[in-house]
Every structure is written in C-alpha cells, then in structure tokens.
Structure 1
Amino acid sequence: MSTDDERPPYRQPALSVAERVSDLLERMTVEEKAGQVVGTWCGFLGGETDLADVKRLIADHHVGVAAPFGWGGARYEQLGEVVEAANELQRHATEETRLGIPLLLNVDAVHGNAYVAGSTVFPNALGAAATWDPDAVEAAADVTATEVRSVGAHQNYSPTCDVARDPRWGRTFETFGESPRLVAELAAAKVRGYQGDGLGDDDAVVATAKHFPAYGEPTRGEDASTVDVSEYTLRNVFLPPFEAAVDAGVESVMPSYSSINGAPAHGSRSYLTDLLRGELGFDGHVVSDWNGVRHLPDDHGTAADRRDAVRQAREAGVDVASVGHTGHVEHLADLVRDGEFDERRLDESVRRVLRLKFELGLFEDPFVDEAAARETVGSDDHRDAARDAARDSMTLLKNDGLLPLDGDEDVFVGGPNADDRVHQLGGWSVANDENVPGETVLEAVRERTSGDVTYEQGTTLDEELDVEAAVEKAAAADVAVLALGEGWYLHEFGPQAQAGTETGEWPTRSELGLSDAQREFARRVHETGTPVVGVLITGRPLAVDWLDANVPAILLAYFPGTEGGGAVAETLFGDNDPSGRLPISVPEDAADLPQRFNYLAHPRPIGDDEHPDSYDPLYEFGHGLSYTTFEYDDLRVDAADRDGGVDLSVTVRNAGDRSGTETVQAFARQETSSRVQPDRKLVGFERVDLDPGEASDVSLSVPADHFGFYRPHGGHVVESGTYHVFVESLSTSFDLD
C-alpha cells in the first residue's frame, strides 16, 4: 500500500482541503477542468441516456457531476438499482480516469428521497409550511438528507426559496407560500437540516437554494415566463428567503429560468455576482437549472448561439451547468483556449466543486452500501416523522359541527384522490403506485371506523365515471368523504401525461377551481342529503366557493406524502387535532388575483359596497380551524429597541374541552413611512400546545430588522416612528427611536 509520502498531495487526507484542491487543480488540463463543472443525467427527460452514455461522457469529456436519480435523472426506482447505478458510475470515475476524481451526484429530493421505492416522503413544501414549524421542517430535511446520502447522492436541489405570488403557477406546491418571512424561516431550517453540522457528516448533503433571485410571480402564472417586478418588490419580497439561506450557510444556489426585469438570471452578472456574491456574501457554487444555459439563445434570445451562451453564463457567475453534456464542455474549453474566458475564472468554479468533493469525503470513499441503505430508507423512525409532519399540516378550512367523526359511522368514500398514492405524494416523486408505501385515504378510513365503508371513485381528475353508483352508495351512508383536488405534478415542463393532468381543459391557469367533473360529482353527492366532507389533495390553493357554500366541512391536505392518508383519517376521526394554518391565501376566483395578505396600502374609491376590500379571499392567510377554541388576551410589548429587537407577549388560553395546538401569528404595520408599506406583514410566529383550560404566555422575540424594508438608494432601513402590532383581534403599538 502507498504511504502518504508516495501519494500525490491531493490523495493525502492529512492535508487541508485547500492544499488538496490546489494540488489537484494544478494537475488538470483545461478539458478536465471544463468537465468538472458540467453535469449530465441518466434517464428519459429531454432525451434517453443510460449508464453507458454517462460513463462515455466521463471518459471522453471528464464530466464531474451527474444526476442518476429520478424521472429527470434515472429510471431506477428500486433501491438496489439506485445504489448499483451510483456505485457503478463512481467506480468508473475513480478507477477508469487519469486523475480518479469522484462524481458529485445530485437529486431533486425536495420533500423526501421520493425517487426510490419505499422511501420516506414528507408533505410537499406548501403542506410543510402549513405547520408553521421550523423545527419540524429542519427534522424532515435531516431525514431526507440521511436517506439521500445512503443511496449515493451528495447534493439536493432544495430548498425552494421562491415566494409564491401567483397561485396559478404550477410550482406553487414547491414553495412555502406567500409570506417572505415564513418562507425565509422555513428555507433556512431546511438548509440546516440538509447540511447538519457540516458536509463531513456521513448523512449531510449539499443544500441548493433556488430559484434566484425571483421566480414566484411569473407572467400569467406560466412557469419560467418573465418576471417583471420593481426593485422595491425584488428586495422586500423575493430576496429575504435567499438572504436567510445564505446566512444559514447554504452551499449552493440555483438561478431562475425566468428573466427578471429583462435580464435572464442565468446570464446576469448583476444578479449572480454583484447581488448574490457581492451584497449577500454567498461563497458557495452556483449551479444552473436544467437547461438554463441553453435557454439563453434558444428562448431568451440574449446569446447568439450555444457557445455564446456558455460564455455569457460563465461570465455571469454560473459555476456548474447541471445539464450540459459534450457541447458545454467543448465550448468552455475553447473559450479558455481562445482567450475569451479567463482560465482563472474557470479555476474558481473548479475549486468550488472540488472543495465539496473533498469535504464530503468522496476521495476517501465514494461508494455506498446497499444493506445499510435498506436499513435507512423508509425506516420506522423516518415514517413516524413523516406522519407527524402530515398530521401537523392538516388545515381545517371549514367545519359546521360535522367533524370530528365518532368512528362508528357508515362512511362513503369517493373522488379521484381517495385511493391514489401517487397523487398523494405530489410532484418530484416516483410515478408508480406500487413503489409507494403508506395508506391511501380510503384504506385509512376503513381502518378507523367500526361502521361500514363503501367506495366508488365517481370521477377521475377531469372525467366522470359511474356517478350513479357513487350517488347510490353515498345516499345509504351517514357521511361522505370526497377526496378531490389535482394530480401529482403541475409543472408545465413535467410529465403531465403520467400525472393524469395533460394540458387541455383542466387543470388550467385560467381558473383555480375543481374540474367540471369533480364539481358535478360533489354536487350530486351533496344532493343525496348525506353530509359531505371535502378533502382537498392539491398543490395549489383551490378556489372552492361552491364547496364552501354547500358542504359542512372542508379539510385541506395539500400533497401530504406517504403518510398522508393516515393523517387525513386521523384528523377526520379526531385522533389528530388539525393544527395547520394557511401559508397562502385562498381566493374565491382566479379573477380576483392577486389576493395576498401583504398587499401595499393604497387609496380606495368611495363606496365600500361597490369596491370591496383589496384583500377579500375565500380563506385568508394564516386561517385554520381546530377542534377546540383559543382565546387571546393581554398583547403587550415588553421591550423595543434597535439592538435588542422587539419582545412581544400574549396570553393564549385553550377554552375548549380537548387538547389542541395554536399558532400565534404576529403582524405589523408601520404608521408613517418614507415608502408605501404592506397593509400588514408577518413578523413572528410560534406554535403552542395547550390542554383544555390551560393558558400560556407566549413570547416572541422579533429582530428589529423584521420591521424594516429595503429603500432604493438607501439599503435596508428600520425607520424611527410608531409601529402597530396585531395578534388575532388584539393590537398594540410601540415606538422605535
């Protein structure tokens, strides 16, 4: 065996990472450097590739990054196949190439390691946000990182830091909602969960904050379309979550597909270097979205051709092209040789990638063990965590005394999402029902009632089935549970045919309601006189005004993950008190958009009857019912100064006869400001568990910065003056000097 003295310095673990990176970089050719910062995939999205293709790209073009997981990556779903693929690629990279540099393998595990059969899948981000619980979000990310790392991946393209400003957008389910503060707190929690105490941990992965700098308000709600927002909105709404992620130590950032104010993010030095690195202080690596570089000439029209696009993206600050294949490597190497791109700039990007590989320990051991992975993926502890997260996300929108059920009723269950595991998971998941553990809503209801349970689907997502049979069974039941909503993937670029949501009459961005078939199905069941519970399994806030007006109970389950069916049933039968609170407003109709709680104050015409309030949603941001009642009293400001922040306190009492969890939400408004401010903005929140009759003094320590805003040509400021604070129906004020 070689000793440290006989091995090249980059092979010596005793040396510092910086020393090892420098030694390896000096040994690399321009082509090898270019390959290290270009990635490839193994799968069917955008063209067929297999392991042989990837190994050829490693050998011929030195690619250093690969995505052999998921439908956008591999076709491997069984755990053994996933582990085998990861190890085979690493073996080729480390044993069959000149320098033996291991691969950095990435995955879109945005709510669990959802491309591997039997894995633990948590609620998608919008459902996670409904918990209003950063600790739970961090714990879920920690579980995800452990499962992801166990099968061979090292980088997770998550968290999504986008603030959802148009719920028509198909990727709303990937976000933490419409509040910059809530998104920021939960995005930072995910970063901490993924990266743990450092990349040297065996179960840590590289977190990737996306999609910088703004993505969540695309024109018409069309994915990747232009984002045209003021600098004021960019700074005050879209940047805070990315700032929080950077402060939490995020190692990677992914740009937006969109152009923002006319500048494509992938080609903007202003965004990726001046803003991200210069102002926010980010020092990790920037990785392109799927074909983000290629979009510069093909779609945005800001680059003359693919070669020009590579130059533009690299000069802007892109370090890694997540998908580039041979063309990107060749163009990048040629640009360096021709003197059109400084090799020192290329070296900076390569250093960033190599540093990660060394810190992850890949040069010592890039392989994973299948037996260990089987003990990790989908373990009982992990599934328990997913069940807890799903329980806490359940958001009761309406309840006219029907819920909770007693447990001895005869129950009719119907609807397109009643017995479907795939739609229950939501996007960025396997599309194979056989690979998904956990219960469906139907299966879980059957387990939790002593009465008879009958089932008839009645409708697909958008086509009626045997409605008459469903109506007959519903009429004979004591209660009808209708699991309605949308399909598992709404992203325009995604495999909609597999999701049962092909582009057509529904779903569309022009409306947010249920399909005609589902509305008619719900109406027919309602007409039987059997009380109806509407359970919404969806990734967007659906405008369900008919349900609200006609059925006694509505439960929003979001895309709740593998344990979601059980969590729904536990909530319906009262084993779980619904504690979810809306992270996004639910409009009455898409025509009412935008409907967001933090709209800017503005003049209103005289005549309230003719001109309704600017914010008049079907269900407002922060709404959510419990099976108990909470009373608030004695809102006070205990301290307020710029250095120590603002300390708020309020007394909350459980006035009901059962235990419950309340989320205390504090909003603020500046009385007089140099710029127009939101009508109210969220500044702090806290979950509190209370037994019947129990009261608690809940304290919120709010940094003074949360009351400030970005002022053009003045930076972030907290102005002197009076501030009003609102918690439930209570309000108080304080002054900052």
Structure 2
Amino acid sequence: MGLVLTTVAAAPLMAQQTMAQQLSPLAHPAQWPLLNLKRKPDPKVEARVDAMLKRMSIEDKVGQLLQVDIASITPKDLETYKLGSILNGGNSAPNNDELAPAPEWLKLFDAFYDASVKRTDDRPVVPVIWGTDAVHGANNIVGATLFPHNIGLGAMRDPALIKRIGAATAAETAATGIDWSFAPTVAVVQDDRWGRTFESYSEDPAIVASYAGQMVEGIQGAVGADFMKPGHVISSVKHFLGDGGTGGRDQGDTRVPEAVLRDVHAAGYRTSLEAGALTVMPSFSSWNGEKMTGNKSLLTGVLKERWGFDGFTIGDWNAHGQVQGCTNEDCPAAINAGLDMFMYSGPGWKQLYDNTLREAKSGQITPARLDDAVRRILRVKVLAGTFEAGRPSSRPTAGKFDLLGSPEHRAIARQAVAESLVLLKNNGSVLPLKAGANILVAGRAADDIGMQSGGWSITWQGTDVRNKDFPNGQSIWSGMDQAIRAAGGKATLSADGSYAAKPDVAVVVFGETPYAEFTGDRPTLEYSPEDKSDIALLKKLKAAGIPTVAVFLSGRPLWVNPEMNVADAFVAAFLPGTEGGGVADVLVAAKNGRPQRDFHGKLSFSWPKRLDQYVLNRRDPNYDPLFPIGYGLTYAAPATVATLDETRPAVTGGDQNALFTRGRAAAGARLETTGAVLLTRTDRNAQEDTLRLAWSGTGKGRLAVEQAMPIDVSRESNGQLSIVVDYRLRAKPTGPVTIGMEGGKTATVPVGGALTAAANSWGTMAVPLHCFADGGVDMKKMTRSFMMETAGKLDIDISGIRIASAPPGPVSCGAN
C-alpha cells in the first residue's frame, strides 16, 4: 500500500490530475475481507422485530428514520410524530444551558420518552432513544470525567485501558439516562492539518484497529458476557469511511484507490464490527468525488452485505443534504443508498418527515428498503433493551450522579494521562523535577482545565468554560502543586513567568486553544504563527538562566522547533482532559528522589521536522520526520536532542475562519465602506488592531468584508456556526442596525437588540450562519462575508470578525 500512496504523493501535478480522474467511487465488495462477527443473529429477536414491523403504519415507519436535535424539537412533538431518536448536538443542552446540571438532562429525557410512548391506538409503542457525542467521557455533562482525547490515548499503546475507559464513559453517560454514544472515532488521519486529528488514535491503521474493538466492548459490553447490560450504552463507530484522508479539510474528499480505502482507512471498522458495534455513522466526507452518505456500494455493498453488519447507519449532522440532488429536508437518495436514519437539525424536520413519507408512499423509497431500515432500527432497540428499560429515570444506573467523576473513573483517567505523555527532549536530565526544589509553574494553560481538555468539553468547541465548570477536575498546576509540596518542595503559579525569588526550574504549560471539527482545520503545522507570546516566555526564562520544561498541549503534532530549542525538556501532553495530576505523576520525583512513574507514551503520529510536512506517515515515500512514530524517551533510556532547524518555508499561515483579525482583513478579502460611515483605527491589544466606525446618521452607511474570489462557507453554515463580532459600543444606535451576507442574494438580520455590552465595554455578538442561508444566500459562493449597515447614528469599535461557535447563551436570527 505504501507504493500506491507513494505514486500519488510524488507524481507531478499533471500525473496526479490524471490519476484523480481515474479513481472511482464504486467499491467492489468481493475484494473486501469477510468479518468474524461475535454477535450472531438471534431468531427470537428477529421474530419480535418482524411482529412489530407488521403492525406499524407507514407513518410510524418513516418516523423511525428521523433523529432530530433537541434544539429543534419539543417533547410535545413526539406525541404526534413517533420519531426514532433525538440527539443533543454540540451546542444543544436542556433549557439551552450548556452548564445544565446532570438531573436536568435526565428530566428532559424523561419528557421525551414519555411523549414517545404515549399512544391511543393498537400500533406498537417504540420508545425514542437519545444519542450524544461522548467522545472522551460524558463530555457534555458538568462533573463528568474527561479522558485524554484519542491522539493521547493512541500514545499509550494500551488496549486494555481503552476498554476500561469505554466502560467508564458508558457508565457516566447512562447515569443521565442517555442510551447512545456517538463513539468511537476510528479515523486514520493522514494529514495533520485536519481539525479532527485529535479524534484519531493514530496515523497507523494497526494501532487504530487494536483500539476500536476494545472501545466498543467497553461502551456496549462484550458480546456473550455483559453486552448491553445496565450501565452500558449503544456505540456508533464513525465516520464511515475515509474521513482521515481528506487532505486536512473537514468534510472533504478522500481521493485514494479502493485498496488504500480498504487497507488503511477501514482498519478500525473490522475490529469494532467484529466486537458487535450496533450503529455506524457515515461520514460528511466523500470518496473519489461521491459523498459517503450517498455511496450505495460502500454503505450497502460493503458494510451491510459483505461485512454482514445488521445494525443501523445514522447520518452525521444534516450530512444527507450534501448528497447530490438532495437538500436537508428532502433526500431519498441517502435512504436508497443505505442510510437508515437521518440526523437532522433545524426548523424543517417536519418537512423532512413529510417528504420522506411521500416518497415512501410513492415507491421512490421502496417498501423493501423502508422495511429494511426500520427493521435494523428496531433490532438495535431490542438488543439494547430499550423496550424493557422503561422510563430513563427508572433505569438501574440512571440518577446515580455520583458516578460522574467518581474516584474510580478519575483514577482510570489519571492513569491514561500518565501513560499518554511523550517525552521528546530531556537535555541535562532536567526531568524528573527534583525533590525539595523551588518550582515555577508558568504559561497560560497551566491552570486552565478547559484548555487542557480541548474541544468537546462541556461546549462543542471547548471554549467559554472555566475551571469551576469542571467540579471533579484538576488543572495541571493543581496537580503539580500537590506533588511538589508532597516531595518537600515549593511551587509557585505565575502565568506570565514573573517571580520574586529565582526558581530552580520553570515548567511552562502552553499550546493550542480549544477547537472542534472544521474550526480546527489549519493551513500549516506551525504552532501559533501569529502569536509568539509563548516562545517569548520561554526565552525570558532561558535568558535568566532558569532550566525550563515545556509541557505542550495540542491536538496534533506541530512544528515547534523554535520552542523546543529554547526548552531544556519538552513533553507532548496532547489534550489530557480533566486529570491534570497525571502530568505531575510523571514529571515530579517522589520525596526519595526517584521518579514516581517513568514515561510510557510513544508517538502515535510522526512529528514534523518542517511546518509544511502535512502528510507525514511511515508508509509514505521519503519519510523524514523529526521524531518517527513510536518515538518517546524515558528516564531509563535518555538521549540528547541537538539544536533543531528553525527555517520556515514560504507557506502561508493564519486563521482560516477569521474574516478580520489583528487589524486586517483575511487573505483574499478587503474592507469596504460606503455611504455615511467614517472608518478610522484604534488600539485594543496592539497598535491600530481595531476598527473605529462612526455612522453620521445622515443616510445609510455600510462596512463590508468583500472577497476577491467567492468563498464556500456551506459546511460552516451546516455545522451550526455563527458570525461572531467582538465589539465595543461607544454610543448606542439611533436607528435599526443589520448584519448581512451576500452570495447571489443578500440577506440581513437586525442586531440592534443584540448590542447589549455596556458602554465602552467589550462584548461579543453572534448571528447564526443559517439565518443568512435561510434568507436565500448561496453559502457556497459568498462574495461579501460580512456587512454591517445602519442609517442612524452609531459609534462602535470592532476588533474581530470571525466564523466560529457562538458563546454560550441563546442566539437568534434577529434582535431589534
């Protein structure tokens, strides 16, 4: 397989284009291996499903094909529409409160469940099931144990611990009554610029395969033993298939031969399906130009027929709307290709139901395909014990909120943190930190549980959370402080590295700020290309003659040669989650002077020598990493790292989702003002980094970010992102204010009522992108990505305009 990838990677551009034209999205199932499934068909289950199916109306059957986000539906709706499932999307929570306590989740599920089982006819009662993204613990729930993200778990090389993590995650998820987890992600990431790299165990398919089945057994229970017993939940293996090969772009196109798709990207599916996984989530992405959600040769031909998968497939967030000829509200092509359940968010779910019902009645979706999809959904519900489980709050482990962040689960997480740390450099044996030493703990991430946890941590993007939002968590600083004092030393926290008495050693904790999915896609692998404050701190400490340990938090390998050169020791901690004490367990010597634990972790991804080594995998041609996959120093086997090359190739960096930041419009865009508005500059964080805008009130005036070439923000619109504006109001508007976007058509949203920050105080305003899409804007051909307009007087400063997840709290399509 390496030779095939070599040819694609190294061929001249014309040859690559020719090869791309020859690549087909048609799979040949006979060329795929057969699987040895542990879970065999059960005649009693099949008879029960068939009996229910015969009594269901076509309306009941179509209802089972829909899963709707709780932000778009109410429990009352399920009294009429007997839908198969609900979910909480990344930003959805009870009462629209992402910090809602655990009992509120259970209370809301009770309400949905009660409505779903309320019937007055003789047709079968089929309870609704709730799906959630419990991707590194029950990560939406305040107080839950958050384990290291998958990239860190991959560095452990410990499948047995993975199974325990899966079981602990399931137990905490089940405590809230929720019965379905969208995990594990088994992507084999090949381009580390992708924003979901941290969700991948490894670039090596063998490592992914060794973990996938174990995680499924942990979540669901092992077939023949504790399968789907109380405390376990349904698993969903994702994202089928090839999502890790899209060239670093979320929802992109994996262009590889079928053999590479099979032998590299499918590795995790073989072991997870053999372990009995009940659901599979097709990917947003494409294979050789065809969206996976509409690829019948893979969904039906390989997954269901060749591999014998008898569970059901669940779509990703409105992904069916990207299938050719489809919209979010109408997509028979996806069902006919082998999708069994739509995942839908938005106000039009009843339209999707009505259209699907019409197509089922007309035969556009055949009776056989409809019955097959519903049979699969019912089968999973029977196998999961849904019909006997009863009301969520009545289930054996539901309401046992002491399971959230329990000592047992925290111990598992702490062990995982310790095992996942990878020592990249330890010149002069500065580690372990000596007993009795005076240690300075510095860096902006040292005392920030949200930053060490990354994306999918209470909020979708992992942003706008504070340490108090993790009541059962511990920051890296807190863990270091405890360990250093226990060893007879002194620890001081100073984010900026200042000190009164010169320390013996400084530990600087820094890294990527949290992100999830496409907001984390980046153009290069250079760490923090536009903000060099972290290396400035390291240099300041070095200049003072203080030995320095860098603890680096990241969701992927990054080019950090300058930072590594300045530090005496460098630890890749990835995204360790809520148990910061696990870092101290390895870094701090015990009172007797010996290490409490040696380093265990080995790189599961190759570490780049240059910032342009986007595709850096062991099977690739001319493999030339800084540190190869499997690298990791230990106290028992030390080595000295020489000074690294800091040359930067001529490639661009920056935030791809920023429209205006640090005083300038994004590359390929310009600022435009028209009419009765005056644009000057002022300072916020740097000289003239902020726009100062004054509307005179003598007529309409507009500020716009105009694109030199149309841009595509359809995936961001579909992904529930917003236009987010950082502003300071110097004088309240005297007339209506709108924000707009233009692409083919123009749509505007009134925002005067959203300008709620106190006068001369900085605030943030967000408008969901779907507001503009609903207004007719072609989000694939955006020509003006931001417009602010008023005919009244308005004095406002704007320091940032970006496409991002909205801050916590309600957002709407208009506030006058």
TM over 0.5: yes
Query: Residues 272 and 622 (structure 1 numbering): CA distance in 2 closer, same or farther, change over 3 Å?
Result: same
Provide the residue aligned with 1:174 in structure 2. 199
Provide the residue aligned with 1:409 in structure 2. 437
Take 1:280 and 1:416, find their aligned partners in 2: how far apart are those partners? 48
1:483 aligns to 2:509 (yes or no): yes
* C-alpha deviation, 1:261, in angstroms: 0.3
Provide the residue aligned with 2:75 in structure 1. 55
* C-alpha deviation, 1:440, in angstroms: 0.8
Take 1:492 and 1:86, find their aligned partners in 2: how far apart are those partners? 29
Provide the residue aligned with 2:378 in structure 1. 354
Query: Is the CA contact (8 Å cut-off) linking 1:402 and 1:552 kept in structure 2?
Result: yes
* C-alpha deviation, 1:345, in angstroms: 1.0
Q: 2:66 aligns with which of 38, 42, 64?
A: 38
Provide the residue aligned with 1:154 in structure 2. 179
- Amino acid aligned to 1:334: R
Query: Is the CA contact (8 Å cut-off) linking 1:595 and 1:615 kept in structure 2?
Result: yes
Query: Is the CA contact (8 Å cut-off) linking 1:40 and 1:54 kept in structure 2?
Result: no
1:64 aligns to 2:84 (yes or no): yes
* C-alpha deviation, 1:327, in angstroms: 2.4
Take 1:630 and 1:588, find their aligned partners in 2: how far apart are those partners? 21
Provide the residue aligned with 1:264 in structure 2. 291
Superposed, 1:615-694 pairs within 5 Å as 615-629=623-637
Superposed, 1:48-447 pairs within 5 Å as 49=72, 53-68=73-88, 71-72=91-92, 74=94, 75=97, 77-95=100-118, 98=121, 99-198=124-223, 199-219=227-247, 221-296=248-323, 302-303=324-325, 305-306=327-328, 310-323=331-344, 325-364=349-388, 365-369=390-394, 372-400=399-427, 401-431=429-459, 432-433=465-466, 434-436=468-470, 437-447=472-482
Structure 2 unaligned segments of length 5 or more: list them: 1-41, 460-464, 589-594, 640-816
Take 2:283 and 2:554, find their aligned partners in 1: how far apart are those partners? 24
* C-alpha deviation, 1:475, in angstroms: 7.6
* C-alpha deviation, 1:279, in angstroms: 2.7
**RMSD of aligned Cα (Å):** 2.3
Provide the residue aligned with 1:677 in structure 2. none
Take 2:277 and 2:638, find their aligned partners in 1: how far apart are those partners? 38
- Amino acid aligned to 2:406: S
Cα displacement string for residues 489-535 of structure 1 (whole angstroms, at most 9, x for unaligned residues): 24225xxxxxxx8xxxxx83323323423222322232222111000
* C-alpha deviation, 1:20, in angstroms: 2.6
Take 2:398 and 2:360, find their aligned partners in 1: how far apart are those partners? 45
Taking structure 2 as the reference length, what is the TM-score of the superposition? 0.66
Taking structure 1 as the reference length, what is the TM-score of the superposition? 0.73
Take 1:595 and 1:404, find their aligned partners in 2: how far apart are those partners? 31
Secondary structure, counterpart of 1:455 in structure 2? strand
Query: Is the CA contact (8 Å cut-off) linking 2:507 and 2:551 kept in structure 1?
Result: yes
Take 2:162 and 2:311, find their aligned partners in 1: how far apart are those partners? 23
Provide the residue aligned with 2:749 in structure 1. none
Query: Is the CA contact (8 Å cut-off) linking 1:69 and 1:115 kept in structure 2?
Result: no
* C-alpha deviation, 1:267, in angstroms: 0.7
Moved more, 369-378 or 194-203: 369-378
- Amino acid aligned to 1:549: N
1:513 aligns to 2:527 (yes or no): yes
* C-alpha deviation, 1:164, in angstroms: 1.0
* C-alpha deviation, 1:107, in angstroms: 0.9
* C-alpha deviation, 1:395, in angstroms: 1.1
Query: Residues 171 and 15 (structure 1 numbering): CA distance in 2 closer, same or farther, change over 3 Å?
Result: closer
Query: Residues 96 and 534 (structure 1 numbering): CA distance in 2 closer, same or farther, change over 3 Å?
Result: farther
Cα displacement string for residues 343-374 of structure 1 (whole angstroms, at most 9, x for unaligned residues): 22111111111122222222222323587422
Q: 1:549 aligns with which of 565, 579, 600?
A: 565
Query: Is the CA contact (8 Å cut-off) linking 1:66 and 1:103 kept in structure 2?
Result: yes
Query: Residues 339 and 96 (structure 1 numbering): CA distance in 2 closer, same or farther, change over 3 Å?
Result: closer
Query: Residues 581 and 334 (structure 1 numbering): CA distance in 2 closer, same or farther, change over 3 Å?
Result: same
Secondary structure, counterpart of 1:534 in structure 2? strand
Structure 1 unaligned segments of length 5 or more: list them: 1-13, 44-48, 297-301, 459-469, 494-500, 502-506, 601-613, 632-737
Q: 1:570 aligns with which of 569, 579, 585?
A: 585
Identity of aligned residues (%): 31
Secondary structure, counterpart of 1:428 in structure 2? coil
Take 1:130 and 1:374, find their aligned partners in 2: how far apart are those partners? 31
Query: Is the CA contact (8 Å cut-off) linking 2:63 and 2:81 kept in structure 1?
Result: yes
Take 1:455 and 1:474, find their aligned partners in 2: how far apart are those partners? 12
Paired residues in the alignment total 565
Take 2:279 and 2:385, find their aligned partners in 1: how far apart are those partners? 18
Secondary structure, counterpart of 1:190 in structure 2? helix
Query: Residues 371 and 36 (structure 1 numbering): CA distance in 2 closer, same or farther, change over 3 Å?
Result: closer
Secondary structure, counterpart of 2:523 in structure 1? coil
Query: Residues 201 and 116 (structure 1 numbering): CA distance in 2 closer, same or farther, change over 3 Å?
Result: same
